[in-house]
Amino acid sequence: MRHPARSLLSLTLLLSLLSGAVAWANAPMVPLEDLKPLPEHRRATRLTTHVISNYHYRNVPLDDALSKKILTRYIDALDPARSYFTQADIDEFNQHATRVDDYLRSSSLNPLFEMFVRFRERLRERVDYAVKAVDGKFDFNVDESFDFDRKDAPWPKTTAELDELWRKRVKNDILSLKLAGKPQKEIGDTLKNRYNGLYRRTAQLNSEDVFQTLINAYTTSIDPHTSYFSPRTSENFKIRMSLSLEGIGAVLQSDNELTVVREVVTGGPAEMSGKLHADDRIVGIGQDDKGPVVDVIGWRLDDVVDLIRGPKNSVVRLQVLPKGTALGGPTTMVAITRNTIQLDEQAAKGSVLEVKRGNGVAKIGVITLPTFYMDFEARSAGDENYRSTTRDVRKIIGELTAKGVEGLVIDLRANGGGSLSEATELTGLFIGPGPVVQVRDSQGRVQVERSTEPEVAYKGPLMVLVDRNSASASEIFAGAIQDYHRGMVVGEPTFGKGTVQNLVDLNRFDQSMNGKLGQLKATIAQFFRVSGSSTQFKGVEPDIGFPTVDDEDHGERSLDNALPWAAIDPARFTPVNFSPARIDSVRALHEKRVASDTAFQALLASERAMYDAQQQHSLSLREDKRRAEHDKARTEQRERENQIRVARGLPPLPADQLTPEDEEEDDEFSKPDEKDKALDVVLTEAGNVLTDWIHSDGTEQRLVDNESAKRAPGGGVTQPARQTPAEVR
């Protein structure tokens, strides 16, 4: 699956409550002659190029080389599947390949707007063809295929080639709905509405939308985390960054005309339902319990967001193509009640994991940390009881210690970051005062962020559990624990997001524009561990890596123009002494155990199957073959799920006789708490590894005590840790 940063039209939003009805339904179509740059766009262009040229961490000159990249990204944003433009269109556009830099410097954007006008004209032609093709005759016994991933395919040379591409696309859409059990009349109506809606929504894109797309072709040619937000998008970004959120609690992205769930927010209604997951694709939306389901394939992300938003306590029904299910496969219906995302649900939580050891059990404490948070408003107001990650974890440590745990696991799986100061201070609970992370800005100046915790809160055996979605602040914490040798890091290599972004409100430079200039999110600095190694690109490599699918399309390394790994001088710090040979012996026990663990192998097989489905680039248009593929994938997934359940002492799921809708209503097997520990194969193995470490032969790890922590020398700059809010995402 394509990464979100590769789709320039994608707009990542956290769904939240906004008043008002769906805006797109009554929005007027924009006349082609109105699609031209406005004065605010020319002003925003000058400010954006100035900020990037003077303050961006990566110094990339705005020259002919960059101009070619910008044009390519702009064209890819308009037509990522190469199914609208012909090679003749591309040849015409390429005459501007070395001029885009000149257009940006002079704020002369008309040629780029004219390319969008051409795109809209070509889309109208394709929609007209598709609507007529729906009423044609299709033979589903012919052995042919539809290539839906054409990002690297050659541009069609003729209109006839485009017609053939769209004939197969329409045939695929009909077959998908047919396999879903839709009657023929409904299939025709659904697809005609889908295609006409695609044009209608594109025709409603205004100059602001075009400007945001072309400027982001520029910003993401510098690095994937630099982007421009139009005034409307800026408002949505503010909603996303707020602490009190109402909606379903999901981050969405647009990918090849599908709406993909990028992230399910901990504590939100979607996460609490247990039925919506990252990489699921939303293909239809219904309101309330029985409202009609609106097909949203091909919709703008803004419009999908508008449909999902709604009042607190109201119900939205999502028709979902589950993660790992091939396009055109069976869908499920997920009903979610919109609500407020509670900070308590995102807070750290403690639990005790009982690990079998001989004839008894070992108690392992687990602290699950979904994000690094602090209630800055309460703290600023002088509230002595303000919530923060470090405060909550310190309290949980006391509670778990009182229960007699032998070791502690800090679970950072899917933790995408948060407050830099909290990542720094949390590290101090385990190392005491000392340097935690180094930050280098665009001028090459290095500042050391230091823990100010006066003493160690926990001195026992420690493990940090990470996965490929542990990012930013999570990588700072895990990297520091690893560099200090204070504990083991286990799991998967982390995401590799080691850069710092700053949000610049362009309106503060020109009040005369009345708030029309938008905002720029620009990369201004890079993180480095106390060892001098960057967390950027490579992430944190675990001391003991769990078996996983090597997905090159995930993480920072999959992003175009990502900053490379780098290193600087290490800070001065005192690591804990431990024997590397002891890690080797524990790793050997782990590898032997998982090789024969039915549940772990079933989990790994599920990941491989999902990865293989995501790597699929074409679909058979032969009905019997397509149906057989769906049935086979469904049966194999059910078998793998039951292998995990039986291995963990749970009853198998019912025989695969239920429809997706019936399964969605089968609450006995969908409650999140029923699956928590028994089915968390990775956490169970993490407990085994830590228990092996605690009871292994050899010299025990020399744990940090209060006095040695107080004596730990600092390094580099000696400023205290930041006391102002700093978000690390």
Q: Find the DSSP H helices in 34-63.
A: 39-55
Q: What is the DSSP letter of 487?
A: S
Q: Give Cβ neighbours of residue 425 (< 8 Å, ≥ 6 apart).
A: 388, 389, 390, 451, 452, 453, 721
Nearest to 428 by CA among 453, 408, 406, 409: 453
Q: What is the largest CA-CA distance in the chain?
A: 82
89, 483, 543, 680: the active-site residue:
483
483 is catalytic: yes
Helix crossing, 184-203 with 159-179: angle to 10°? 130
Alpha carbons 24 and 21: distance in angstroms, whole number = 9
Residues with Cβ within 8 Å of 276's Cβ and at least 6 positions away in sequence, in order, are: 248, 250, 261, 264, 270, 318, 320, 334, 336
Residue 185: CA atoms inside 13 Å, Cβ hemisphere, count? 0
Active site residue 560: no
Full DSSP string of 279-306? T-EEEEEEETTTPPEEE-TT--HHHHHH
Q: Can you give the length of the chain in residues? A: 729
Distance separating alpha carbons of residues 683 and 366, to the nearest angstrom: 9
Buried b (16+ CB within 10 A) or exposed e, 201-230: bbbbbebbbbbbbbbbbbbbbbbbbbbbbb
Query: How does DSSP classify residue 701?
Result: P
Cα 352 to Cα 221, 364, 399, 429, 538: the distances in Å are: 47, 6, 10, 20, 32
472 torsion bin: left (phi>0), alpha (psi -120 to 50), beta (else): left
- Selected catalytic residue, list 171, 178, 497, 521: 497
631 is catalytic: no
207-219 vs 39-55: helix crossing angle, rounded to 10? 10
Q: Which of 472, 474, 533, 606 is catalytic?
A: 472
Find the radius of gyration of the CA atoms of the chain: 27
Q: Which residues are catalytic?
A: 472, 483, 497
